[in-house]
């Protein structure tokens, strides 16, 4: 990343500290700042992280001639981990998040997993200290998705207070398929998505049979859950709550069978 301003040449300053490029940027917004010349200005504070894991404060503000900036460098101690944060000068593989000036978090994608780091401001040394927190594999975003769905279910419990449209439901279906292929087990989709298959096939069979027989139907109404609502199979008209319970129970059973089928592939 080449960031040159009238006040300094950042590329040159990076090389003086042993770094080559930036891998993370986060803005903390505007606040009053006193420049090195003693002038009070409304400046934006931008936190920068270089490929050695060290941090930079960059204050930038508007002047009559354009913009000016001042830069401060902080050694964070990340060198003790022998780290070089990935990037190539143009593409960033790291994200820097600032909850406030005293606490920053960095996520680093290494190609195999994601690592999480915490930076905090030490008022005794007047500098930032970086610490490695944890490593996260492919299980993080499925766990986050599950947590979001649990929160959604809390508000969608009968009677529902929120409604999920096609955008949400199609995304969830795509997410399930993506995870199955990411973990190299696409065949479990047949089990965990059995109700999707039944619903879709009932529509296909209904339309196809209707056209072939010039008006006859297999189901009273498609997709399949409408057939049950209208008294299909033994004449019992299923209510909405009964259908939800039926579909959930079948899906849970199929998911358990799918889990048993792939259990031996993972170490717990």
Complete DSSP assignment for 18-67: T---EEEEEEEEEEEEE-TTS-EEEEEEEEEEETTS-EEEEEEEEETTEE
| Residue 207: pLDDT over 90 | yes
| Residue 46: pLDDT over 80 | yes
| Average confidence (pLDDT) over 3-9 | 51
Query: What confidence score (pLDDT) does residue 228 get?
Result: 93
Query: What confidence score (pLDDT) does residue 201 get?
Result: 96
Q: Which two tokens stand for residue 29?
A: 């917004």
Most confident by average pLDDT, 100-109, 125-134, 184-193? 184-193
CB 25 within 8 A of CB 96: yes
| Average confidence (pLDDT) over 170-195 | 90
Query: What confidence score (pLDDT) does residue 219 get?
Result: 92
Q: How many CB atoms lie within 10 A of CB 188?
A: 19
β-pairing, 22-34 vs 103-109, is unpaired
Q: Which two tokens stand for residue 81?
A: 């981990």
Which is more confident, 192 or 234? 192
pTM: 0.54
Query: What confidence score (pLDDT) does residue 101 get?
Result: 80
Query: What confidence score (pLDDT) does residue 42 get?
Result: 93
CB 254 within 8 A of CB 189: no
Which is more confident, 75 or 137? 75
- The lowest-confidence range among 13-22, 78-87, 198-207 is 78-87
- What residue spans define the domains of the chain? 10-136, 185-265
Which is more confident, 193 or 6? 193
| Average confidence (pLDDT) over 182-191 | 89
Query: What confidence score (pLDDT) does residue 205 get?
Result: 96
Which is more confident, 5 or 101? 101
| Average confidence (pLDDT) over 81-97 | 64
The chain-wide mean pLDDT, for the chain, equals: 84
Which is more confident, 133 or 87? 133
| Residue 69: pLDDT over 50 | yes
| Residue 111: pLDDT over 70 | no
Q: Which two tokens stand for residue 38?
A: 């003693």
Query: What confidence score (pLDDT) does residue 86 get?
Result: 61
| Residue 83: pLDDT over 80 | no
Which is more confident, 78 or 249? 249
């Amino acid at each position: 990343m080449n960031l040159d301003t009238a006040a300094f040449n950042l590329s040159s300053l990076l090389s003086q500290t042993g770094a080559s490029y930036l891998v993370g940027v986060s803005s903390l917004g505007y606040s009053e700042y006193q420049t090195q010349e003693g002038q009070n200005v409304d400046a934006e504070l931008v936190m920068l992280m270089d490929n050695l894991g060290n941090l930079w404060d960059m204050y930038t503000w508007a002047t009559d001639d354009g913009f000016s900036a001042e830069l401060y460098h902080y050694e964070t101690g990340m060198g003790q981990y022998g780290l070089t944060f990935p990037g190539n000068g143009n593409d960033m593989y790291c994200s820097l998040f600032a909850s406030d000036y005293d606490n920053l978090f960095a996520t680093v994608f290494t190609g195999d997993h994601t690592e999480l780091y915490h930076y905090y401001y030490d008022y005794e040394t007047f500098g930032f200290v970086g610490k490695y927190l944890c490593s996260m594999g492919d299980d993080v975003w499925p766990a986050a998705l599950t947590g979001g769905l649990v929160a959604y279910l809390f508000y969608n419990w009968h009677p529902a207070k929120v409604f999920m449209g096609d955008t949400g439901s199609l995304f969830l279906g795509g997410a399930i398929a993506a995870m199955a292929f990411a973990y190299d087990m696409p065949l479990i989709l047949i089990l965990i998505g059995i109700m999707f298959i039944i619903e879709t096939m009932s529509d296909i069979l209904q339309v196809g049979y209707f056209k072939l027989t010039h008006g006859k139907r297999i189901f009273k109404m498609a997709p399949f859950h409408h057939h049950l609502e209208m008294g299909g199979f033994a004449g019992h008209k299923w209510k909405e709550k009964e259908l939800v319970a039926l579909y959930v129970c079948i899906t849970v059973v199929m998911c358990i069978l799918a889990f048993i089928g792939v259990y031996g592939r993972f170490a717990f």
